[in-house]
Amino acid sequence: MTLDRPRIMGVLNVTPDSFSDGGTFVAANAALAVARAMVEDGADIVDVGGESTRPGALAIPPDEEQRRVIPVIKALAAAGVRVSVDTRNASTMAAALDAGALIINDVSGLSYDPAAAPLVARRGCPVVLMHMRGTPATMRARAVYADVAAEVVAELRGCVAAAEAAGISRDAIVLDPGVGFAKDAAQSLAVLRALPDVAALGCPLLIGVSRKSFIGVVAGEADPLRRLPGSLAAALFALSRGAAILRVHDVAETVQAVRVWQALGSG
Ligand code: HH2
């Protein structure tokens, strides 16, 4: 997949407790229908996740995670959909790649499971390294920075170095500053403003702002399902600051916004 134009990653949560879709898509058939619709709407990648990473969420065992995501990944891959798997567990990564996933998306930047980086190196697949501190259960308390942008850039640089030391090619790495992960609303905004500094690390950038809580804080909107306008504003801002891939829930709406943004000469 070339990154000569903005790419859209559609979010497919196969969790009973995801904050934004309430686990509506627990059945593999329903998940497949939703993913197909995303692709028809213009998604380049469908990101399948089985573990909620919302603040305070507890980890689930990898076998339960695999029970949720592997049937969905198999069905999507068989239908020709480009799938990424959103997981921190090496065993889930391996099972997902075996089921036809092409991309690993790890919110821990391959730091959660010591077996993850060697696995990704062996398989030679593209990997998204996201910035976070702690785990979803502990990250709120870790959102303490003197200079959030500089520290996120430095910590992502460390993630890239660790990945390369494990044998992962730099060409395979996509970076994500992790909006909302160990960052409060002000810190998330600061990191988005500093995206050019993250881009200067030299890897393509993936950004997830869709329905996130910083939008709720800025706009006074408690319901994640009512945060589409703010999500679009932040997505276009991220593109203008160097993002290559947008991770979104509302694919059709984002594709339309990006097309108009490009037609105006911003792309
Ligand atoms: N955000 C969530 C999950 N995975 N991966 C990347 N690379 N970047 C992100 O910003 C990102 C991510 C948010 O997770 P969750 O709280 O489970 O909600 P949802 O999956 O509905 O977005």
The mean pLDDT of the chain is: 94
Q: Which of 130, 223, 248 to mutate to test the pocket of ligand 1 (most atoms within 8 A of CB)?
A: 130
Residue nearest to atom 11 of ligand 1 (CA): 208
**Ligand 1 and 247: CB distance under 6 A:** yes
| C-alpha atoms less than 13 angstroms from C-alpha of 184 in its C-beta half-sphere | 8
**Looking at residue 176, what is its pLDDT?**
98
Shortest-distance atom of ligand 1 to CA 211: 22
**Ligand 1 and 105: CB distance under 6 A:** yes
Structural domain contains residue 2: no
Structural domain contains residue 215: yes
**Over the Cα atoms of the chain, what is R_g?**
17
**Looking at residue 30, what is its pLDDT?**
83
Output the CA torsion 134→138→141→145 (10° steps). Answer: 20
The Cα 203–Cα 245 span in angstroms is 12
The pLDDT tens digits for 217-233 are 999 999 999 999 999 99
| Cβ within 8 Å of residue 260, ≥6 positions away | none
**Ligand 1 and 214: CB distance under 6 A:** no
The CATH number of residue 94's host domain is: 3.20.20.20
Low-confidence ranges of the chain (pLDDT < 70): 17-27, 267
Displacement of CA 194 from its chain's centroid (Å): 18
**Looking at residue 57, what is its pLDDT?**
83
Q: Which of 247, 248, 249, 250 to mutate to test the pocket of ligand 1 (most atoms within 8 A of CB)?
A: 247
Q: Domain residues for 56?
A: 7-265
Q: How many domains, the chain? A: 1
The side-by-side arrangement of strands in the sheet containing 7-13 is 173-176, 127-130, 103-106, 83-86, 45-49, 7-13, 245-248, 206-207
Distance 92 CA to ligand 1 centre (A): 17
**Looking at residue 58, what is its pLDDT?**
83
**141: helix, coil or strand?**
helix
**Looking at residue 19, what is its pLDDT?**
41
Residue nearest to atom 3 of ligand 1 (CA): 53
Structural domain contains residue 29: yes
Distance 22 CA to ligand 1 centre (A): 14
Shortest-distance atom of ligand 1 to CA 11: 20
Phi/psi at 212 (nearest 5 deg)?
A: -75, 165
